[in-house]
Amino acid sequence: MSRRYCLGLYEKATPADISWEERLSVAGSCGFDYMELSIDESDERQARLDWSSTKRQEVLDAMRNSGIPLGSMCLSGHRKWPLGAKSSAKRDRGLVMMDKALALACDLGLHTIQLAGYDAYYEEDAWEDSAESFAENLAKATEMAAAAGVVLGFETMETAFMDTVTKAMYYVDRINSPYLGVYPDVGNLSNAALLYGGCVADDIAKGKGHIFAAHLKGTRTGLYRDLLPFEGTTDYEGALSQLVPQGVRRYVCELWYLGSSDWQQDLVVSADFARQQLDNAFAQYC
């Protein structure tokens, strides 16, 4: 491996209607080392949890033929079935989804799942016991992950419950398992720093020794998505000044396919930008 880090691409940066082999091949040709699989709340992506053995083998074949692996999973489906939901049926559905996601990760050779940092969402936000229910079910999910040999890393979100590494670490410390850590989104952290008057680097420092990977995403005040990584006000320099010397070596460019005919060029420019940020940080801090 020529570089000291791996750069992944968020799956939603590519059109939904292309084959897995084409999707992975495009990621490689545009400058990425791997792709991050998305399991969001949509019916289409939730159905992946029930892929047949034949379909799972098809995806494995696509990885081998393209030379680009699926390296991690972004499990944002807990937004619809959160572990701290008021409804016990929703909480149970969230744990079933976790179990299926771990099985899929094992079958595809994925070692890291990015876990959405939501105790509850939608109409559940104001439920008074959401945080405690979240913690109880998080402990169950972490036990499941430990048995599967897959680590869970909290994404720092756009909501106040877990929009900083500091907040994520409360639950990491509470569960106290090597299978639960943090997988921060540095764009969301940058917005949180602007909101609270804090510092991205200082916040990331609170997660030292517990950060598995990081999302590189363009954001600006009040806007959390649909920007390219090099757009907005994300504090990459501050984030990488902590992530790189801490030993974090896996990064994913988070961007979205929005129908542009130039989407592959957007990927090339995004990969170049991310590598420039990373190479500068490695030169300075390692």
* Number of domains into which the chain is organized: 1
pLDDT, residue 110, reads 98
Task: Yes or no: say if 79 and 121 are a contact pair by the CB < 8 Å rule.
Answer: yes
Domain that holds residue 58: 6-285
Do the domain assignments include residue 103? yes
Q: Which of 20, 35, 1, 21 is nearest to 271 (CA)?
A: 35
Q: Going from the first residue of the chain to its last (286 residues), give the mean pLDDT of each consecutive group of 10, the final group possibly shorter.
A: 87 98 98 98 98 98 98 97 94 97 98 95 77 97 98 97 98 98 98 97 98 98 94 97 98 96 97 98 95
CATH number at residue 265: 3.20.20.150
- Residue 105 vs residues 109, 154, 243, 248: alpha-carbon distances, Å: 6, 16, 25, 21
Tell me, yes or no, whether 230 lies in a domain.
yes
Q: Could you tell me if residue 1 is inside a domain? A: no
Kind plus residue range of the DSSP H or E element containing 1: none
Query: What pLDDT does 122 receive?
Result: 86
Q: What is the pLDDT of residue 15?
A: 98
182 close to 169: Cβ distance less than 8 angstroms: yes
Tell me what pLDDT residue 124 has. Answer: 61
For tokens 């990425």, name the residue. Answer: 32
**Pick from 157, 135, 147: nearest CA to 91:** 135
pTM for this prediction: 0.96
Q: Closest Cα to residue 228, out of 11, 13, 7, 34?
A: 13
In a domain, 245, yes or no: yes
Contact indicator for 171, 232 with CB cutoff of 8 Å: no
Q: What is the pLDDT of residue 168?
A: 98
pLDDT score recorded for residue 1: 47
